[in-house]
Structure 1
Amino acid sequence: MQETSFIVIRGNSMRLDGGTMFGNAPKALWQKWIPADERGMIDIASNCLLVKSGNHNLLFETGCGAYLSPDMKARFAVKEETHILMQSLAEQGLSDADISHVVLSHLHFDHAGGLLSAWEPDREPDLLFPNALFVVGEENFKRSQSPHHRDRASFIPGLPEKLQATGRLVLKRGGDRLVVGGLTIEFFQSQGHTPGMLVPWIQAQTGSVIYTADLIPGLPWVNLPITMGYDRFAEGLVDEKKQMLERAVDENALLVFPHDPTHVAARVECDPVKKRVMPSKVFETLNITL
């Protein structure tokens, strides 16, 4: 039986408006979950999932990275100047050249920015991960090529062309699977946050892990009604979230959150009193073998 390691590593962190991150939830409620500063800004993490299976090193998401110019870093309150994800990989004895697959739920900058090298004056950032297959949802890739006015600022200009030019772009649809080493990855397609976002359900020999993407950005969003102002279709997202959480309970799957600054993962169970899915065990770090 081939064992697989699941490790949450950090990318660059940022701060965003708490009211937008929690949609129509009142500040009196959401500030109990994640405290805000005097401007109403909250910490947003880049939690990337490194999966080691046999000779394969898979990376789920890359965070916001360090490619933004200084003025744009200031706009999104990106805290670090250096490429934190590269440092996190080095701490695991790896570089970007050692990654066999980069799996991206969608191509918003806070999930795909880490694909690019750190900003330098008068130089366009380079695409990193020279040996990796880039796995992206087909519908979201098309969206990134021609975004709507509402979400145009969320995508990285020129990134789709860089990915295509590698010859290593792999486009997937909802229901598709990817078999790598001892893993089977099934892709659940979500439309609530952005068109064609793919939530990977990673099935190892002895357990399942779901990288929740922006369907559940962090622990507070396990609550069904809680959505983000960035979501294009909040009611549809709630329905998708319900479907995913019910399956997570059935499979005792581990949820890994992309943006929670404190709780990177959780298991969930159905609360018989509240009659809804609730966290049963939370993790502030994650390094497990399944």
Structure 2
Amino acid sequence: MTLEQFRVSDDTTLTWLNGGVTNMDGGAMFGVVPRPLWSKKYPVNEKNQIELRCDPVLIQVPGKNLLMEAGIGKGRLSEKALRNYGVTEEAAIEENLNELGLSAEDIDEVLMTHMHFDHSMGLTKETAEGRRPMYPNAVIWVNETEWEEMRTPNIRSKNTYFKENWDAIEHQVRTFKEEKEVFPGIRLIHTGGHSAGHCILNISRGDKNIWHMADIMPTHAHQHVLWVLAYDDYPMDSISKKQEFIPSAIENGNWFMFYHDYKYRMLRWDESGKEIIESLERKEAEEK
């Protein structure tokens, strides 16, 4: 397959990898927003599910291969879980890396916005010798609060923080509190909202300023600051951080990149936020 790429600057390239596909309940993904409103912006199937990619982004900078998010992996979910999460495709990240002349061993750092299963399952793999790290040579960056809750989930979060997603990689994890610049111009920023330790990613290199709002704006249809997920643990925090970051980024002509969007890899809106003026679309996206 042809991988979508975006040149940020002379020395920085983004490449979207296939991390698998889920189909989740549209009502849960748009919270209190009525279906007649959100379905105008994002396609929905007969089961009221919307397609959500889980596609990590390879960030190549001088001397390093960084990976943002990890996908759902391959062979990590039970048959029941595959049905419940509407999985129609599992990850092909190793194959994608091979297309680029790389392997999982070449990933230097993994940047996790949070550790929900659909972002973290691809951090490990099942082998004949047991569960092993997918990226054995990588440092894995996770917010401190997120990492603590990952290992000691509460009655709500235990449905998405699984021990089998962290027990094989805990020796690789490095944590931070509010902000971590993992490479010049590439920052993880703590927001909370979707989870207590949720983070967003900012890439500011060359003349480009790019925001990955992660799951406080998982798709382009979630641009409205009040359109937050029923899955959010702290929805008012999600709203507050969307108010803080999104309007100013739109006004300044910044890019937004996506992990979950069925259609857009990246886009820019006009100053009003109503029209998409530039975008990178997923080549296999169907017209819906």
Following superposition, the deviation at residue 230 of structure 1 comes to 0.2
Q: Secondary structure at the match of 1:117?
A: strand
Match for residue 177 of structure 1?
181
For residue 91 of structure 1, report the CA deviation from its aligned partner: 2.3
Label 1:278 to 1:155 Cα distance change in 2 as closer, same or farther (>3 A): farther
Alpha-carbon separation, structure 1, partners of 2:125 and 2:11: 32
Alignment of 1:130-141 (within 5 A): 130-141=136-147
For residue 55 of structure 2, the aligned residue among 44, 47, 54 is 47
Kindly state the Cα deviation for residue 177 of structure 1 after the two structures are TM-superposed: 2.1
Tell me how far 1:219 sits from its aligned partner: 0.4
Who is 2:93 aligned against? Answer: 85
What is the DSSP-based 3-state SS (H/G/I as helix, E as strand, rest coil) of the residue aligned with 2:199? strand
Tell me if structure 1 keeps the 8 A contact 2:57–2:67: yes
> Bigger shift: 102-111 or 144-153?
144-153
Q: In the aligned structure 2, how far is the partner of 1:16 from the partner of 1:123?
A: 33
The runs of 5 or more residues in structure 1 that have no matched partner are none
After superposition, residues 198-237 of structure 1 pair within 5 angstroms as 198-237=199-238
How far apart, CA to CA, are the structure 2 residues paired with 1:285 and 1:10?
11
TM-score normalised by the chain length of structure 1? 0.86
Q: SS at 2:86's partner residue?
A: coil
- In the aligned structure 2, how far is the partner of 1:251 from the partner of 1:65? 36
Q: CA deviation at 1:251?
A: 4.9
The whole-number CA distance in structure 2 between the counterparts of 1:123 and 1:176 is 34
1:51-66 aligned at under 5 Å gives the runs 51-66=59-74
Task: Tell me by how many angstroms 1:279 deviates.
Answer: 4.2
Cα distance between partner residues in 2 of 1:262 and 1:192: 25
Deviation at 1:45, TM superposition (A): 0.4
Q: Percent identity?
A: 24
- Work out the CA distance in 1 between the residues paired with 2:281 and 2:204: 22
Work out which of the residue numbers 265, 278, 281 in structure 1 matches 2:278.
Answer: 281
Matched, 1:258 2:255: no
- 1:68-79 equivalences under 5 Å are 68-79=77-88
1:49 maps to amino acid: V
Q: What's the TM-score once normalised by structure 2's chain length?
A: 0.87
Match of residue 4 from structure 2: none
Displacement of 1:250: 5.6
> Aligned partners of 1:163, 1:65: CA distance in 2, in Å?
14
1:241-275 Cα distance to aligned partner (Å, 9 max, x none)? 1211134236533211111111121123431xxxx
Q: Give the secondary structure class of the aligned counterpart of 2:96.
A: helix
Question: What root-mean-square deviation, in Å, do the aligned CA atoms of Structure 1 and Structure 2 show?
Answer: 2.2
Number of residue-to-residue matches in the alignment = 274
Write the deviation string for residues 17-40 of structure 1: whole angstroms up to 9, x where unpaired: 111111111111122222222211
Distance 1:161 1:247, change over 3 A: farther
> In structure 2, do the counterparts of structure 1 residues 203 and 281 end up closer, same or farther at CA, with 3 Å as the change threshold?
same
1:129 to 120, 125, 135: 135
After superposition, residues 178-197 of structure 1 pair within 5 angstroms as 178-179=182-183, 183-197=184-198
Call closer, same or farther: CA 1:261–1:115 in 2, change over 3 Å: same
My pick for the range that moved more, 85-94 or 211-220, is: 85-94
Structure-2 separation of matches of 1:186 and 1:253: 15
Contact 1:211 1:255 in 2 (8 A): yes
What amino acid is the match of 1:242? Q
In structure 2, relative to structure 1, the CA distance for the partners of 1:279 and 1:189 (3 Å cut) is farther
Does the aligned pair in 1 maintain the 2:204–2:210 contact within 8 Å?
yes
Deviations 1:84-113 (A, max 9, x none): 222222222221111111100011010111
Verify the 8 A CA contact 2:188 2:201 in the aligned structure 1: yes
Letter in 2 for 1:211: H
Alpha-carbon distance between aligned partners in 2 of 1:11 and 1:56, rounded to the nearest angstrom: 21
Q: 2:178 aligned with 1:156, yes or no?
A: no
CA shift, 1:282, in A, is: 2.8
